[in-house]
Amino acid sequence: MKTSTSWHPFTQMEEFDQLPKVVVERGEGCWLEDVDGHRYLDGTASIWTNVHGHGNPELDAALRDQLGKVAHSTYLGLSHGPALELEKSLVEISPPGLERVFFSDNGSNAVEIALKLSFQYWQLVGQPEKTEVLAMEGAYHGDTFGAMSVGGGGLFHRRFEPWCFPVHRFPQPVCREAGGVVEASSDAASLDALAAMLEDRSGKVAAVILEPWVQGAAGMRLQPRAFVREVSALCRQHRVHLILDEVFTGFGRAGPMLVCAETDVRPDFLCLAKGLTAGYLPLAATLATESVFEAFLGEPAQNRQFFHGHTFTANPLGAAVALKNIEMLKNLLAGDDFPARMEYFGNALRNHFMGHPNVAQVRQRGFTCAIDLCPAGALAEVFPAPARTGLKVILKAREHGLLLRPLGDTLLLVPPLVISREEVDFLCRTTLQAMDETLQTHPSSNPHL
Ligand code: PLP
């Protein structure tokens, strides 16, 4: 019998209908509570968005304050205080040169907008032949057609390929790191491939797009920290745009406020969403340089303007909460406790999972982590897909009060940035317990149980 008429994202509903349901009612700090009163640690930060915890009093107050004024007013031909202030704040935290802000409402749209801006820019400056995009293998930039096209063409998007535009792809660098210890690192092959592509076709290339430092949806595939600088240098050298997609890595998720500012990389476009509102409301922004902006200026009859917009562009509630988030995040990142907790998280992951017989690899940077599961002792092997091993582990974790989401048989641990040391211990201990109960690993092989 149907228990609900919802159709969930990325979900085989035939399977979902058989699974136990969690209906969330409230949240406080890093915890969510369901309608039956069960509490769960939010181990996905509500899909990589939550920064200061649920029900944060300061964010709630900022939201209520704005609600007392106006919930929504269009940004088409009008503006409002929260967005005007937020623009200033975004420009201030971004690398020099990014001075224009185009608002939208989700990460896919932020990417779509950067792609369209780049595409139109080259027409406006008399180089309409520059239409191609270069992207990294395994990339994920969202689910609209432009974003899917530049994505890595994996399982999520394969069916839609015939409707996507062609993109040239360069290989991922190799980087394995957890708890600050780099296990493997090399980016020469990736950079050489990109350089060769640009040598060959830069006259036709509009932009290179990259998720800097971490490809999240690819399973936390890491890059050496300086890789983004090398990519940026190649883009400058060959006069193609650099689009950085910090939808996932931005707002402290990978450590710094923004990876581009931390690495002193100045992209032509910067895409932001997810943590922008601390996980409260759907809001996104695409930042562009002043020189890109100027190319769109002209007489109305010339039709040079950017023909793109969304109904809820720059929603005032989202803008008000984003503004407060950034103010709070600056304080959080400036203190000693944040890096210390991040280090604690990395060490806890190393201690709990490295060397475990069912773990092929652990990758972690900032408050992001992926744990690749494997059959006991067989690091190079995978579980048969129909076994649904990753799903079974996260369902077991749920029974013990932890919400996680698997990516196949990779467990992704992405908690709110304010997670405490005790909560990190709970996150690791419960994940381990769920793995061992599901995979029947002998508890004596796990010193932490
Ligand atoms: N870009 C990156 C790097 C992402 O990780 C995501 C979502 O996970 C997106 C874009 C798409 O964002 P949204 O789901 O808000 O459309």
pLDDT of residue 173: 98
Question: 3-class DSSP state for residue 95?
Answer: coil
**Where would I find the beta strands (DSSP E) of 293-342?**
none
Predicted confidence (pLDDT) at residue 202 exceeds the cutoff of 50: yes
β-bridge mates for residue 338, sequence order: none
Task: Choose the residue to mutate in 8, 115, 140 for probing ligand 1, maximizing ligand atoms within 8 Å of C-beta.
Answer: 140
Q: Indicate if ligand 1 lies below 6 Å from the C-beta of 112.
A: no
pLDDT of residue 3: 66
Q: Determine the distance separating the centroid of ligand 1 and the alpha carbon of 47, expressed in angstroms.
A: 10
Which of the 8 DSSP states describes residue 247? T
Q: Indicate if ligand 1 lies below 6 Å from the C-beta of 217.
A: yes
Report the alpha-carbon distance of residue 261 to residue 248 in Å, rounded. 15
Q: H-helix or E-strand containing 75?
A: none
Residue whose Cα lies nearest atom 7 of ligand 1: it is 142
What residue has token string 């950034």? 326
Report the alpha-carbon distance of residue 370 to residue 221 in Å, rounded. 8
Q: Indicate if ligand 1 lies below 6 Å from the C-beta of 253.
A: no
- pTM above 0.85? yes
pLDDT of residue 449: 46
Report the alpha-carbon distance of residue 375 to residue 378 in Å, rounded. 5
Q: Indicate if ligand 1 lies below 6 Å from the C-beta of 279.
A: no
C-alpha Rg value of the chain to the nearest Å: 22
Question: What letter represents residue 349's amino acid?
Answer: L
**Mean pLDDT on 310-338:** 98
**Structural tokens at position 361:** 């690899």
Task: Choose the residue to mutate in 104, 157, 248 for probing ligand 1, maximizing ligand atoms within 8 Å of C-beta.
Answer: 248
Would you mind telling me the total number of residues written for the chain in this entry? 449
Which of the 8 DSSP states describes residue 239? T
Could you report the per-residue pLDDT of 365-392, keeping only the tens digit for each? Answer: 999 999 999 999 999 999 999 999 999 9
Q: Determine the distance separating the centroid of ligand 1 and the alpha carbon of 331, expressed in angstroms.
A: 26
Phi, psi of 60 (to 5 degrees): -60, -40
Report the alpha-carbon distance of residue 57 to residue 54 in Å, rounded. 9
Predicted confidence (pLDDT) at residue 406 exceeds the cutoff of 70: yes
Could you report the per-residue pLDDT of 276-295, keeping only the tens digit for each? Answer: 999 999 999 999 999 999 99
Could you report the per-residue pLDDT of 22-48, keeping only the tens digit for each? Answer: 999 999 999 999 999 999 999 999 999
Predicted confidence (pLDDT) at residue 447 exceeds the cutoff of 70: no
Task: Choose the residue to mutate in 253, 258, 274 for probing ligand 1, maximizing ligand atoms within 8 Å of C-beta.
Answer: 274
Q: How far is CA 90 from CA 24, 257, 285, 325, 362, in A?
A: 32, 11, 9, 11, 33
**Structural tokens at position 224:** 């050496």
Q: How far is CA 268 from CA 6, 30, 102, 245, 265, in A?
A: 39, 35, 13, 11, 10
Q: Which atom of ligand 1 is nearest to the CA of 273?
A: 15
Report the alpha-carbon distance of residue 189 to residue 175 in Å, rounded. 12
Predicted confidence (pLDDT) at residue 430 exceeds the cutoff of 90: yes
Q: CB-based burial of residue 118 (10 Å sphere; 0-12 exposed, 13-18 middle, 19+ buried)?
A: buried
Q: Indicate if ligand 1 lies below 6 Å from the C-beta of 326.
A: no
Could you report the per-residue pLDDT of 139-183, keeping only the tens digit for each? Answer: 999 999 999 999 987 888 889 999 999 999 999 999 999 999 999
Q: Indicate if ligand 1 lies below 6 Å from the C-beta of 104.
A: no
Angle at 411 (CA atoms; ends 428, 276), nearest 5 degrees = 90
Could you report the per-residue pLDDT of 96-105, keeping only the tens digit for each? Answer: 999 999 999 9
Q: How many other CB atoms sit within 10 Å of the CB of residue 202?
A: 18
Closest CA to 176 of 212, 217, 222: 222
Q: Indicate if ligand 1 lies below 6 Å from the C-beta of 213.
A: no
Which of the 8 DSSP states describes residue 53? -
**Structural tokens at position 86:** 């937020």
Q: Indicate if ligand 1 lies below 6 Å from the C-beta of 152.
A: no
User: CA 281 from chain center: how many Å?
Assistant: 15
Predicted confidence (pLDDT) at residue 221 exceeds the cutoff of 60: yes
Task: Choose the residue to mutate in 108, 214, 222, 260 for probing ligand 1, maximizing ligand atoms within 8 Å of C-beta.
Answer: 108
Angle at 336 (CA atoms; ends 366, 29), nearest 5 degrees = 65
Residue whose Cα lies nearest atom 12 of ligand 1: it is 107
Between 198 and 157, name the one with better pLDDT. 198
